[in-house]
Structure 1
Amino acid sequence: MQRFCHPWATACVLSGRPNVGALMSLCEENFARLSRLVPDLVARPPGVYGSCCSEGVDLYLEVEEQARFTTILRLTYLFPVQGVVLPDPDARLRVYHDARQVEVIDLSQTVLPLRADYRAPALVEKWRANAFIGKWLTYCQRQGRVFGDAPVTPPTFASGARVTLCP
């Protein structure tokens, strides 16, 4: 009998025995999710794009690099906390357009019990990070998130200094 899991249940996200094939399938699913949020990603020039939502904090996507078959981007929320802007979660992703996959390059977040800093992981750590990204992208889709076509200026610190998404 198959066990039922709510899609946001931490135990469900982190359970199972990942293998390379399952990880590749997860990366393909994440590509499909990201493509629904940013259908024209391959054509976007480098810059910061925003997605506003009445139900939550603004979501930012920064296209760092575009190449023929890959895009490197950063996806993050920026939370204003006592004059400081905190990115959380903050993910750096490599999108393989030809293979239709999304790979986590770097992930910093405080939501799930993953490592605080994403470093040269083994298969299990890659699985967990990509599962987190998949759940996050699904959440963004359910909120109806879309990114505008024109680059935006991210919020500023209380001091007036501009927030840099990619330190």
Structure 2
Amino acid sequence: MIESLYNFDIALFLKIHRGLSNAFFDWLMPLVRNKFFWSPLYLFIIIFCFKEYKKRGWYIIGGLLLTFALGDTISARLIKPFVARLRPCNDVNLASEIIQRVPCGSGYSFPSAHATNHFGIAIFLIMVFYPKWKPILPVGLFWAFLVSFSQIYVGVHYPLDTIAGAVLGTTAGYVVSVFYKKLQPGL
């Protein structure tokens, strides 16, 4: 069972990493996964929350920071060192298959902290803003999926790493949003 899941994960990784290879994705996906690429969006969210929601904006930003801290701590500090799964770009068995699109890094692969953090932030924002702005659901999920997909495409994570990160981030975002709604009912 574990062996077949492992083989499936590698096969799916290669279908995405090599099979979907094209010049547009080679340009776009390294940008999408870059932490600075989304800085204007993060700044917009902060300004929007403070401008539109005044004091409540502080709670929203606090909820986002708590979601990020919770997801990142659990994924990067607890699970990754315990599982200690090599990144695909560091796996000697895949060395001839990897297309070097970004620096690989030396950290572990499972779960993807990028997927955890972006799904966590997306779910928290969806839970907070959905009652007033329905498009946040597809926009937020697409954004988190795109960042997660880019991790596979550039070769630093396997699909199951990003799926586990998405589940963990979704859980963190949901849990923090429940606490937020108890402290700040209604928007």
Normalised to the residue count of structure 1, the TM-score between the two structures is: 0.28
Structure-2-length-normalised TM-score: 0.26
Structure with greater proportional strand content: 1
Q: Which structure's residues are more often helix, by fraction? A: 2
* Structure having the higher Rg: 2
